[in-house]
Amino acid sequence: MDNELLKDVTARAQVWLDGNYDAETKAEVKQLLDAEDKTELIEAFYKDLEFGTGGLRGIMGAGTNKMNIYTVGAATQGLSNYLLSQFPDLPQISVVIGHDCRNNSRKFAEISADIFSANGIKVYLWEDLRPTPITSFAIRHFGCQSGVIITASHNPKEYNGYKAYWGDGAQMIAPHDANVISEVNKIKNVNDIKFDGNKDLIEIIGKEVDQIYLERIKTLILSPEAIERNKDLKIVYTPIHGTGIKLVPDALRAYGFTNIIDVPEQNVISGNFPTVISPNPEEPAALALAVKKAKETDADIVMATDPDSDRIGIAVKDENNEWILFNGNQIFLIYIYYLITRWKELGRLNGKEYVVKTIVTTEVMADIARKNNVEYYDTFTGFKWIAEVMRKNEGVKDYIGGGEESFGFLAEDFVRDKDAVSACALMAEITAWAKDNGKTLFELLQDIYVEYGYGKEKGISVVRKGKSGAEEIQQMMADYRANPPKEIAGSKVAIIKDYQTLKQTNVASGKATNLVMPATSNVLQFFTEDGTKISVRPSGTEPKIKFYIEVRGEIKSRADYASANSKADEKINAVRKDLGV
């Protein structure tokens, strides 16, 4: 064991033992110091939990590298200091605080409320857990300058997180993200954190705001007659122990749906997520109980939301009457296709509309937009970039919808983060509309592929842990830049996009043009002559490098779907072989 490291972490732990920390924390630190095996001690104190551009996320426990009331406290004090510096002339700065179902989420939310109020900042604190999107909505509704959501999304139960938002209801981007990080990093001493709250500045909010939000969501309805005719659609919904239970069934009922079938075991609000290994609606295991219920009840659709209810997963019956999960790209395509189709049918397209996707999301969406003369934007991964496009277009262009392959979608402009509450209601509407047109949701997807071209996607994560792993990932990106592939799966590379240099290169001519993006990002993309797209990016939060593969094909009818699917799998395997992943 590295004696210098052990000496350093012991000294850091001793500061917590001697400092102005509560008895429970000190007892936990003492336990770590006294333990024969120092692994946990090192993990807890070898560094500070980093406040990044997305806020904090980490395993809960005592220590500088863990999520606890002191790391959350430093984050809140730093954000308070920044707000006070940014709005010196505002009579009353205000924030909204929301939280999910995780262990300690309420505690962290209340501590944050105390710290903001101790700094003279008014706090709108939810009475109880709420989906992430309604906090984004509330920030805009109350005209606040910022907001905080205590959540670790779909991470395992040991984790929690702290997401900071700006006054537009979106997660922060430059310059605010870097400036807040700088302020948080200045908090070096627990005594710098003002824990003694001012109760007069904390206002509890609840059902009255829920109602306003649900009324706004109802304005998104595009096919009221189809809903009325199919209001008894059998919808199985699971919140996977999370916040969706608070609003998703209400949103479905507000739309007019009457036959919502729940999964009682997963209605239990719990940060331990007792029925699943991972509360991630992307994973079949997380939807297993809901699919079982769907089989028992002969349901039309299964919908699931993650713990903070900003991402949606769905399951449908395929052509063989087997239940399958749609991937995030397929869900996204259905939304965009439906919204553009209905806007067009209702005469709402006048040339000022736009849709947004991230650069790693399916190109079929771009084809749908182009064919319907709707402007589309490509952004970096992360919903804050979609929100940035919305902010720039506010009052000038009309937002139809935006999303990403990681199961996030936003159909409205009065929220600025992905919203699984409205997404569930809208997906139920689409299912009703498809049924009204004699189709299942699966057949609707097939028809989209027939009309706009087929695409299949595969995401691969290569994990490389530790310092050596990080160096290996860095080297992989350097190698791809120095020696880009000339051919992938038998097709020549035609275009290379490098978002670190913001250059797009036409391989045949060698001509480079500029990529117009709001920032740089360590992402490489290779487009081949046959329409294959490969995106490569190191993860910003985990020790892995991610590969996003999309291959294209053509189907003339639904009958061609299985064959196109099989060919796409072969092509994806060939791409993987060539890339060595």
Instruction: Say what angle helices 244-255 and 207-218 make with each other, to 10 degrees.
Output: 40
> How are beta strands 260-262 and 235-238 bridged, if at all?
parallel
- For the CA atoms of 543, 545, 546, 547, the dihedral, rounded to the nearest 10 degrees, stands at -160
**Are 119 and 77 a contacting pair, CB within 8 Å?**
yes
Beta-carbon contacts of residue 546 (< 8 Å; ≥ 6 apart) = 459, 460, 461, 462, 535, 536, 537, 538, 539
489-492 contacts, C-beta under 8 A, 24 or more apart: 489/528, 489/532, 489/551, 489/571, 489/574, 489/575, 489/577, 489/578, 490/574, 491/528, 491/529, 491/530, 491/532, 492/528, 492/529
Pick the closest to residue 335 from 259, 235, 433 (CA basis): 433
> Active site residue: 80, 112, 136, 153, which one?
153
Tokens of 516: 């117009």
SS3 375: strand
468 annotated active-site: no
- Locus of tokens 């299912």: 431
Beta bridge partners, 325, equal 315
DSSP 411-425: --SS--S--HHHHHH
**Are 404 and 365 a contacting pair, CB within 8 Å?**
no
Tokens of 399: 């937002």
Tokens of 60: 């809960």
Tokens of 500: 């670190």
Tell me, letter by letter, the H, E, C secondary structure of 552-569: EECCCCHHHHHHHHHHHH
Beta-carbon contacts of residue 15 (< 8 Å; ≥ 6 apart) = none
CA–CA separation, 362 vs 250, rounded Å? 31
Which residues form the catalytic set?
Answer: 153
